[in-house]
Structure 1
């Protein structure tokens, strides 16, 4: 399958980071005291052990579906895909509540090592599957790998914050995390009408800092990993605000109080609706808490 994915911006290479992240995650779990496993996290209704169990479920799903091509679970008739994921994730975590922290850590060590190996052997230029928060069309494997990396990083960070640890916040990790999250910008702006060549520049400051220009093309918004000399709209936010916004740790109205906007306020504000996870807002509150990142 040949598909032009240049509108997503240049590829991100996270392959070298998977082994480091896996090692850091197992070391984190091994350092937890018994009472820390039951601390609540930013994932509503899930404690530290639940989040770790969710990561194990993701690992098993990745290997089963993408390495072994074994597909069993599918949405029920009329069930939206995010609702389907919420349901099977909750079912998995409930079942995994029988696992002791030691058993869970051993399983994560064994299965996580296989996920690392899987990603080392994937053709990153292959078009295979879709990263839904970047759009409905097929996407290159490098974006799927980066999506996986950011999900594991996010859950690692949630456990660290729940247990008063720092986490993987140096630029080596934060850079690819923020860069991946910004790949949702063209899809975020898909309904924003603007003349061709209209440009939004987004600058993230702090660890993992970078600049992205999202430009209106003849058919869609196109992302560039660069600054624009004269953007129509400029949005600046700190790294901490960026990752929390993209994973709905904070919501657009909260992020708006922490950012700098110049130029076309409508366009810059629309970009604050960015979501770089599969997320379903509650029907009653568009700014309510997400289910599970």
Structure 2
């Protein structure tokens, strides 16, 4: 893994979001987004839901809503997210902006008090089974806020919040889904795939098999059997399923072991 400390970025990302939301008119708040059935106001409410949920869970150790009998994690999240969004439709845009501005610094304090090397409060299932480190849990939350802001920007045709400082950590965090995407494809120890992401926020990484599992690393690798070259926009949209796997493959230069490149381009960094 490649540890990423995203804690200093939350206030910057939130400020960009608040400044954007403050400029939207009634029609823009009602614009549809890539999230099925959700308008801009609903995605904003969902971000607020995440603030409330993490402050309540991490800081206050409050268990919150319960699973229904036989309910899977994806089904649970879909249900409670929709319930919150529907309830927030009675609140004005300004009320949601005020709540985000009020609760955001409290969430920043939660992250600041977290030991990055300790266990995650919520494990990151898309990075693999078992326990996750706290830094990855926090980075996952950062990517969610950033992606939702981009979805709002797309809906109202406002580019931005995509500086290298804000976007590069999103890409690195999403790449931690690659080893899990390759989990069913065993290869000899030392076998490696290179991933090159073009654009100012991009870079070059390797996913190397250690004989038992695939590992994401920035270190050089010798036995390179495949390469993927794509741009930064394609990578984050693929990982968050803003585009399909087929669309991503058409936008990506794939070379070498096709089984591995096909598997790598199914990487998914959201719970589904």
How many residues of Structure 1 are paired with residues of Structure 2 in the alignment? 271
Scaled by the length of structure 1, what TM-score is found?
Answer: 0.90
Partners of 1:164 and 1:63 lie apart in 2 by: 31
Query: Where do residues 248-287 of structure 1 align in structure 2 (5 Å cutoff)?
Result: 248-279=241-272
Give a deviation string over 1:4-26, Cα, whole Å, max 9, x none: xxxxx221011111111121111
1:80 aligns to what?
A: 72
Partners of 2:59 and 2:258 lie apart in 1 by: 45
Q: Secondary structure at the match of 1:249?
A: coil
**Quick check: 1:32 aligned with 2:32?**
no
**Quick check: 1:14 aligned with 2:6?**
yes
* Structure 2: runs of 5+ lacking an equivalent: none
Which region of structure 1 is more displaced relative to structure 2, 19-28 or 87-96? 19-28
Query: Where do residues 53-202 of structure 1 align in structure 2 (5 Å cutoff)?
Result: 53-128=45-120, 129-202=122-195
1:245 aligns to what?
A: 238
Query: Where do residues 37-56 of structure 1 align in structure 2 (5 Å cutoff)?
Result: 37-56=29-48
2:196 aligns to what?
A: 203
Q: Secondary structure at the match of 1:31?
A: coil
CA contact (8 A) 1:22 1:113 kept: no
Scaled by the length of structure 2, what TM-score is found?
Answer: 0.96
**Runs of 4+ residues deviating >6 angstroms:** none
Give a deviation string over 1:232-253, Cα, whole Å, max 9, x none: 1111111011011000011111
Shift of 1:226: 3.5
* Structure 1: runs of 5+ lacking an equivalent: 1-8, 280-293
CA contact (8 A) 2:191 2:223 kept: no
Shift of 1:230: 4.3
Which region of structure 1 is more displaced relative to structure 2, 256-265 or 221-230? 221-230
Partners of 1:74 and 1:221 lie apart in 2 by: 34
CA contact (8 A) 2:192 2:222 kept: no
